[in-house]
Structure 1
Amino acid sequence: MAIYAFVTVDVFTTQRFGGNPLAVFPDARGLSDAQMQALANEFNLSETTFVLPPDDPANTARVRIFNRTHEMPFAGHPNVGTAFVLAKQHQDRGGVLRFEEIAGLVEIKVARDAAGAVTGATIAAPQPLVLGPCLPADAIAACAGLEMADVIVAAHQPVQASVGNTFVLAEVSAAALARALPDIGQFRRVRAAWPALNGRLSLYLYAHDGRRIRARMFAPLAGTHEDPATGSAATPLAALLLSLTSKADVACDIIQGVEMGRPSLLHATAWRSDDGLRASVGGSCVPVLRGEACVGSPAG
């Protein structure tokens, strides 16, 4: 039986037991794909990360991200939290880490306080904005237990968007956001009815709240009834909002997780680059747990 150390952190928060919890295995050498998936399922968090040596020594690490059911090409809070853990172990180079992931190379800038202590990180999404199919407002409303009139389409239709991980983004009223409740039967129906979704339907609802944005994310088909903070959805949202303007860049603060009792604050930015619209997301982290996982057949 092999023993693997892990730590957990709460991401996109300055308060323990807020934000989005993450389990990190800082040295996952020797774990099989099946063991990584089993550990992620055992933790039962939105995601668990496994750190491996990089293929290119110029990079910091190869990072694999698993949710409860499958490996993910990219995700937001796992990168921020893993960067926080590795930077506290002094694995950054001049405040920068570079993670090799399925979706591409993720560059992370470490945040520190005045005393030099690591407080969080900001990640640049690995891909420019890619828009997929638009979906009918009534179908999206049904997935969230809402009425068609609750979905706001003045700026854009509900649309699949990605900067490395795909979500359906939909604007709703503030009142509707508060009462949204995922209907797994409707999620299955919509996923089956739109093959262009490629079997993935994670729904990111947002509402404008003055200068800030309030958001909620539902992915029941991937085992996440609701997510308290979703950096890989905040980034395509920022890029989408930029696409609706003529500005060179936009920045927005996104509040998520309030309805779950795990308030989170994400700082998202988007800018125009030569290859399209790029985005980043950052926030604070706090350490929570340390432990060891036993992997392999039990003795005796």
Structure 2
Amino acid sequence: MARPYALLDVFTDKALAGNPLAVVLDAKGLSDTQMQQIAGEFNLSETVFVLPPENPAHNASVRIFTPSMELPFAGHPTVGTAVLLAENRFGAPDNDMDALVLLEEKVGLVRCAVAMQKGKATSAEFDVPRLPKPAQQLGEKDAIAAALSLEPNEITFENHKPKSWEAGLPFAFVPVANMEALNRIEPVPKYWEEAFGDIEHNNTFAYCRQTIHVNSAFHARMVYLENGLPREDAATGSAVAAFAGSIAEFDEPLDGIHTYCVEQGFKMGRPSFISLEIEIQSGKIHAHRIGGQAVILANGELLV
């Protein structure tokens, strides 16, 4: 059976940048094992499988796999899938067009606002279905520094401290003194669990205030271990969704709507830009949204 698929680059407005994504359309009939094997075959950070929605008022049910595990939620698969479904339905519009795409993910229903603009890469923004909350306990600063090949005095800036948050997936958030230190990060597997916890998803999002682009608020790298080997992600929307917790706790933004741009992937040669909008009420996060652009790189058929 031939199943159409697309390759996209997400959180970028140009091909061969951002975070690559595979989306398998018409995944009906594939088993869990087959989906995991196909994700391993693509060998991208995530592969999405599109299925008929449980609620006919929604656009699709989606399942998201890394090469080694299924995820309940992820940012760049959500943005990329919303852009792909909208473009497949409407094509290239003669005039600017907005669309609403409703995706059933394991974390819950995700509402995506898609903006299609003539001559520009399509963008999507989604309401994060869960507010950030503290996740696993992290190790001492010395252990965190050792796990990242840094010195302990490089693990901080201003009043920011390492802390784990989750908004669908847990991440360890590590403030780093500057971009020079951030670029020196090399994961050391033997210290990883001591620093970031003995859990399946102990991926680490290191960040600093220093940025390459003037409109960015933070520069970041997301590093992790897969099958015991160090890996890096070019753009991690689910991490930025949880990162809102650190921003709210340490920066204490005033009530109102605050917008941030997080740049990521530069060390990998895959520049990415993730937008984060946080709505603060009574000093706490009331709602937050993740957004970015995506471009379709290729279309093909999967013969499985």
Match of 2:184 among 179, 183, 186: 179
Within 5 Å, which residues of 2 pair with 1:1-300? 2-90=1-89, 95-114=99-118, 119-135=122-138, 136-152=140-156, 154-174=158-178, 175-190=180-195, 194-195=197-198, 198-209=199-210, 212-221=217-226, 225-244=231-250, 245-248=252-255, 249-272=257-280, 276-295=285-304
Distance in structure 2 (CA, Å) of the matches to 1:277 and 1:163:
13
Q: 1:17 to 1:118 in 2, by over 3 A?
A: closer
Distance in structure 2 (CA, Å) of the matches to 1:106 and 1:225:
28
Distance in structure 1 (CA, Å) of the matches to 2:10 and 2:253:
32
Distance in structure 1 (CA, Å) of the matches to 2:6 and 2:117:
22
CA contact (8 A) 1:96 1:110 kept: yes
Q: Which residue of 2 aligns with 1:298?
A: none
Write the deviation string for residues 49-81 of structure 1: whole angstroms up to 9, x where unpaired. 001111112221111000011100100000000
Distance in structure 2 (CA, Å) of the matches to 1:239 and 1:123:
17
CA contact (8 A) 2:127 2:289 kept: yes
**Offset of 1:157 from its aligned partner?**
2.6
For 1:60, give the aligned amino acid: N
Runs of 4+ in 1 over 4 A off after TM superposition: 91-94, 273-277
In the alignment, structure 2 segments of 5+ residues that lack a partner are: 92-96
CA contact (8 A) 2:248 2:285 kept: no
What's the TM-score once normalised by structure 2's chain length?
0.88
For 1:280, give the aligned amino acid: R
Write the deviation string for residues 209-240 of structure 1: whole angstroms up to 9, x where unpaired. 26521000012136770001011111221342
SS at match of 2:191: helix
CA contact (8 A) 1:84 1:118 kept: no
**Offset of 1:276 from its aligned partner?**
4.8
**Offset of 1:289 from its aligned partner?**
1.2
Distance in structure 2 (CA, Å) of the matches to 1:256 and 1:130:
23
Q: 1:54 to 1:84 in 2, by over 3 A?
A: same
CA contact (8 A) 1:202 1:218 kept: yes
**Offset of 1:153 from its aligned partner?**
5.8
Moved more, 274-283 or 223-232: 274-283
SS at match of 1:209: coil
**Offset of 1:98 from its aligned partner?**
1.1
Moved more, 17-26 or 55-64: 55-64
For 2:202, give the aligned amino acid: L
Moved more, 71-80 or 218-227: 218-227
CA contact (8 A) 1:239 1:278 kept: no
For 1:119, give the aligned amino acid: T
For 2:10, give the aligned amino acid: V
**Offset of 1:272 from its aligned partner?**
3.1
**Offset of 1:9 from its aligned partner?**
0.4
Distance in structure 2 (CA, Å) of the matches to 1:233 and 1:224:
18
Distance in structure 2 (CA, Å) of the matches to 1:41 and 1:68:
4
Q: 1:268 to 1:224 in 2, by over 3 A?
A: farther
Distance in structure 2 (CA, Å) of the matches to 1:137 and 1:88:
46
CA contact (8 A) 1:238 1:251 kept: no
**Offset of 1:132 from its aligned partner?**
2.0
CA contact (8 A) 1:215 1:255 kept: yes
CA contact (8 A) 1:236 1:279 kept: no
CA contact (8 A) 1:28 1:51 kept: yes
Distance in structure 2 (CA, Å) of the matches to 1:80 and 1:168:
23
CA contact (8 A) 1:8 1:289 kept: yes
Q: Which residue of 1 aligns with 2:94?
A: none
In the alignment, structure 1 segments of 5+ residues that lack a partner are: 296-300
Using the aligned pairs only, state the percent identity. 36
Distance in structure 2 (CA, Å) of the matches to 1:49 and 1:224:
23
What's the TM-score once normalised by structure 1's chain length?
0.89
